[in-house]
């Protein structure tokens, strides 16, 4: 009897919340006073209490989800933006749209809640009313709305002064982060299920795949915009930190031009936005690997479309923009993919032997691996050819970051540096041999030009390699 009354009170409370939803939606864009903001905060608290804080909580209705999402999209205070963002993530963790249910020790069952609310709508058969609202503040995101958001972030990171529209920028970055979290959560479950079942349909129907294959966006432009944002965020955050930490009275403080709390929040949110961009790049790179595998098995169709692998787009951008190359290597912290990108970058400039013999010192297993790249610097002649095409500083930077990425790899992945077709390239190489070859590569660089200065990151790589060798000697 007590449980029945509890459920009744819960339903009544939920009904009371929903009665006020339309009023909140109508007021969100038109009012921006403290009373209205207090009402919105109270609404967010009520949703949290009804759907998260209770022991037997149930997910919010779609209207409630939409109201929270709308507050994130159009909120005009730091508190509203942060609280709605936090609540949406809490709800997604408590009530996932897709997940893997354990069936046994070696397999799991993929489960998708079809009726679950989603911030995205990519279906081709959506109604005309849904098309009109897709991308607007009151509706879900379609692919073109997602690209428009990315373009807004490009403008944010292009600004010469970060003292204007701070709250707007904060909201856009948190909105982007939330959408990436949704894409990642959907993709990771599906990709794991795909690897177990080899059912390509699971990935074809992923939110990420539907976004990238949409004809309403230019995929290459979208990826270039994401790279641009990620690299420029480095300068963006540096300027914000300088403004916050400068003691020079001639420098305008955040408190002199707006709320200092917003500026501080921007540094944190800007950093987490950079991480979100890395997440997006990583899941696209992983999708490309699964797509290639499905292609080989003949599982893909014309409906999957044709996409340039993201690695190729990244390499093209880094090859023709040396500033971006430096920023990318500083920011991108996914060791597996960072190493793969550097190895493919080097592969453009390291000549492969035209003839191989059984006694060759460069066995075919080394092709495309870090040890294979290091052996390209085995003598002064080949080293000079590489530096002539790339430049000494760039070579040092690439070698240092490749070594760092290799050291950061899980031990199971260090034996096969090449990501693509890694099973065919499997080659057991000890850490000692890697360190010896790193030192040898820098020695060859020095022999090509005795006036060349070893740069700080190069010295750090040499010190690390020498330390490892001394420990293992």
Each residue of 424-436: pLDDT tens digit? 333 334 889 999 9
Could you tell me the pLDDT band of residue 76, with boundaries at 50, 70 and 90? confident
The closest alpha carbon to 142, from 152, 153, 132, 151, belongs to 132
Considering only residues 367 and 383, tell me which one the structure prediction assigns the higher pLDDT.
Answer: 383
Is residue 23 assigned to a domain?
Answer: yes
Is residue 360 assigned to a domain?
Answer: no
pTM (predicted TM-score) = 0.86
User: Does residue 75 sit in the same domain as residue 59?
Assistant: yes
User: Does residue 202 sit in the same domain as residue 294?
Assistant: yes
> For residues 378 and 373, what is the distance between their CA atoms, to the nearest angstrom?
9
pLDDT value for 19: 62
pLDDT value for 26: 59
User: Does residue 307 sit in the same domain as residue 441?
Assistant: no
Range of the domain at 199: 96-121+141-243+260-333
Backbone angles phi, psi at 191, to 5 degrees: -70, -35
Could you tell me the pLDDT band of residue 350, with boundaries at 50, 70 and 90? confident
> For residues 101 and 189, what is the distance between their CA atoms, to the nearest angstrom?
10
- Average pLDDT value for residue range 120-145: 65
Is residue 224 assigned to a domain?
Answer: yes
Is residue 442 assigned to a domain?
Answer: yes
For all residues of the chain together, what is the average pLDDT? 82
How many domains does the chain fold into?
A: 3
Each residue of 197-209: pLDDT tens digit? 999 999 999 999 9
Could you tell me the pLDDT band of residue 57, with boundaries at 50, 70 and 90? confident
The 10 Å CB-count burial string (b at 16+, else e) for 368-404 is bbbbbbbbbbeeeebbbebbeebebbbbbbbbbbbbb
């Amino acid at each position: 009897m007590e449980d029945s009354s509890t459920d009744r009170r819960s339903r009544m409370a939920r009904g009371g919340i929903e009665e006020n939803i339309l009023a909140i939606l109508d007021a969100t864009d038109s009012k921006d006073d403290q009373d209205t903001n207090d009402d919105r905060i109270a609404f967010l608290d009520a949703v949290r209490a009804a759907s998260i804080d209770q022991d037997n909580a149930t997910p919010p209705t779609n209207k409630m989800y939409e109201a929270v999402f709308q507050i994130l999209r159009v909120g005009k205070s730091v508190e509203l933006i942060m609280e709605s963002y936090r609540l949406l993530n809490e709800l997604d963790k408590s009530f996932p749209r897709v997940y893997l249910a354990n069936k046994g020790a070696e397999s799991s069952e993929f489960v998708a809640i079809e009726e679950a609310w989603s911030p995205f709508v990519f279906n081709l058969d959506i109604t005309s009313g849904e098309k009109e609202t897709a991308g607007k503040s009151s509706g879900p995101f379609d692919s073109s709305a997602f690209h428009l958001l990315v373009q807004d972030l490009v403008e944010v990171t292009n600004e010469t002064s970060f003292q204007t529209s701070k709250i707007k920028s904060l909201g856009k970055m948190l909105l982007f982060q939330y959408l990436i979290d949704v894409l990642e959560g959907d993709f990771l479950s599906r990709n794991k299920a795909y690897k177990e079942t080899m059912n390509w349909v699971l990935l074809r129907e992923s939110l990420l795949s539907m976004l990238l294959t949409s004809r309403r966006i230019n995929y290459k432009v979208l990826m270039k915009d994401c790279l641009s944002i990620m690299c420029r965020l480095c300068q963006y955050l540096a300027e914000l930190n300088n403004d916050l930490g400068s003691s020079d009275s001639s420098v305008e403080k955040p408190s002199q031009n707006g709320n200092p709390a917003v500026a501080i929040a921007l540094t944190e949110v800007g950093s987490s936005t950079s991480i979100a961009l890395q997440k997006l790049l990583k899941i696209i790179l992983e999708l490309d690997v699964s797509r290639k595998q499905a292609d080989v098995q003949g599982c893909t169709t014309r409906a999957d479309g044709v996409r340039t692998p993201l690695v190729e787009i990244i390499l093209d951008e880094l090859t023709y923009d040396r500033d971006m190359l430096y920023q990318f290597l500083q920011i991108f912290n996914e060791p597996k993919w960072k190493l793969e990108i550097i190895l493919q970058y080097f592969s453009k400039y390291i000549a492969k032997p035209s003839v191989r013999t059984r006694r060759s010192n460069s066995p075919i297993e080394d092709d495309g691996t870090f040890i294979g790249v290091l052996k390209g610097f085995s003598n002064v002649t080949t080293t000079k050819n590489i530096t002539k095409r790339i430049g000494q500083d760039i070579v040092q930077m690439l070698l240092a970051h490749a070594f760092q990425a290799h050291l950061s790899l899980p031990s199971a992945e260090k034996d096969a540096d090449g990501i693509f077709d890694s099973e065919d390239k499997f080659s057991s190489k000890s850490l000692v041999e890697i360190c010896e070859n790193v030192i040898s590569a820098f020695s060859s660089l020095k022999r090509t030009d005795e006036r060349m200065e070893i740069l700080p990151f190069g010295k750090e790589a040499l010190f690390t390699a020498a330390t490892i060798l001394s420990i293992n000697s």
